[in-house]
Amino acid sequence: MKILLANPRGFCAGVDRAIEIVERALSLHGKPVYVRNEVVHNKFVVNNLKAKGAIFVKEINEVPEQQVVIFSAHGVSQLVRMQADDIGATIYDATCPLVTKVHKEVARKQRQNHQVILIGHKGHPEVEGTLGQSNDGQQVVLVENSADVEQLTIDKNSDISYTTQTTLSVDDTQHIVNHLKDKFPHIRSPKKDDICYATQNRQDAVKTLMQSADVLLVLGSRNSSNSNRLREIAEKMNLPAYLIDGADEIKSDWIKDANIVGVTAGASAPEILVQEVVNYLYDHGADELQEVSGTKEDVHFPVPEELR
């Protein structure tokens, strides 16, 4: 059995920054610090930060007054920001800068009186945060698929713009965008593609990997959007793919007939989990490993100045 490792894989710059913000806040303030929602969608990372003193909460009303509050990499609504201010919290914003870019774009388009359409997955924290950037009663409209586009009743002659969740399937999103442009020929696109560089690079890497591999193992948690998209790429190629939190979740039946096993990791999964999977595969018949070349990433997002 041969192992093919996708490149790039694992942590992106936004995830690196978010984890560093929590760790530096703990170092500066001591424990506990409160994090609204999982700082990134990975069970291993979250449990590691819990052990260091981070407390993860769903809502700000779970936080005592005048504590340290950190917003997750997925971003938050304007309401959540106000709630944190109201309890006198010391706030550190771990929102990925690429998500912040989307928030600013929504606010800018609304100031120009555009109806903003968001392509994304209902209920995902990033989508909830972006929808929560609405101001002056202007609502951002969410569409998840082409069927949602067909049901839109917006005046075609009005000013309309669209934006997207940053962790979507590039191909699926383009399909929805095409439908939007067919229905609203004058719709405005974002200045730059809102699907982040890391999401696109990891999807491209899996497409390359699965030209050779028989099966794909994706390191990532069930609630990780970008990790799920990696699994779906292989499935759309009619190849088996499995989303796992670690090597202990691998079932031997998945790989027993495989000559080549592809391995990748979502943008919030650490490399240590990849290496554990590699070790598992070596223990179960693998005798060769190859790193597949891919796009080199050198993006770095600095932490807030007050934590440096």
Q: What is the pLDDT of residue 63?
A: 98
Fold observed for domain 2-11+196-291:
Cobalt-precorrin-4 Transmethylase; domain 1 (3.40.1010)
Split at pLDDT 50, 70, 90, the class of 192 is: confident
Integer Cα distance of 175 and 169 in angstroms: 10
Q: What is the pLDDT of residue 134?
A: 81
How large is the average pLDDT for residues 78-84? 97
Integer Cα distance of 153 and 242 in angstroms: 39
Kindly give the pairing relationship between strand 115-119 and strand 160-164: parallel
Write out the E strands in 21-67.
33-36, 54-57
Class of 13-96 in CATH: alpha beta
Residue 121: DSSP 8-state: -
Contact 22, 33 (CB under 8 A): yes
- Tokens describing residue 307: 């934590």
Contact 52, 58 (CB under 8 A): no
User: Residue 98 pLDDT more than 80?
Assistant: yes
Lowest mean pLDDT among 30-44, 133-147, 212-226, 283-297: 133-147
Q: What is the pLDDT of residue 127?
A: 97
How large is the average pLDDT for residues 121-133? 96
Q: Which residues are catalytic?
A: 126
How large is the average pLDDT for residues 225-250? 97
Nearest to 74 by CA among 54, 102, 106, 110: 102
Integer Cα distance of 55 and 150 in angstroms: 42
Residue 191: CA count within 13 A, CB half-sphere: 8
How large is the average pLDDT for residues 168-187? 96
Neighbours of 276 (CB within 10 A): 16
Integer Cα distance of 129 and 100 in angstroms: 10
User: Residue 116 pLDDT more than 80?
Assistant: yes
User: Residue 293 pLDDT more than 80?
Assistant: yes
Nearest to 3 by CA among 276, 308, 236: 276
Residues near 14 by beta carbon (within 8 Å), at least 6 away in sequence = 73, 96, 97, 98, 99, 196, 198, 267, 301
Contact 199, 114 (CB under 8 A): no
How large is the average pLDDT for residues 117-135? 94
Q: What ranges do the domains of the chain cover?
A: 2-11+196-291, 13-96, 98-195
Fold agreement (2-11+196-291, 98-195): yes
Phi first, then psi: what are they for 285, rounded to 5°? Answer: 110, -10
Split at pLDDT 50, 70, 90, the class of 137 is: low
Domain 98-195 maps to which CATH number in 3.30.450.90, 1.25.40.10, 3.40.1010.20, 3.40.50.300?
3.40.1010.20
Q: What is the pLDDT of residue 152?
A: 96
Integer Cα distance of 149 and 143 in angstroms: 6
Cα–Cα distances in angstroms (integers) from residue 141 to residues 182, 236, 253, 255, in the given order: 17, 28, 44, 43
CA gyration radius, the chain: 21
Integer Cα distance of 58 and 40 in angstroms: 13
Percent of the chain with pLDDT over 70: 99
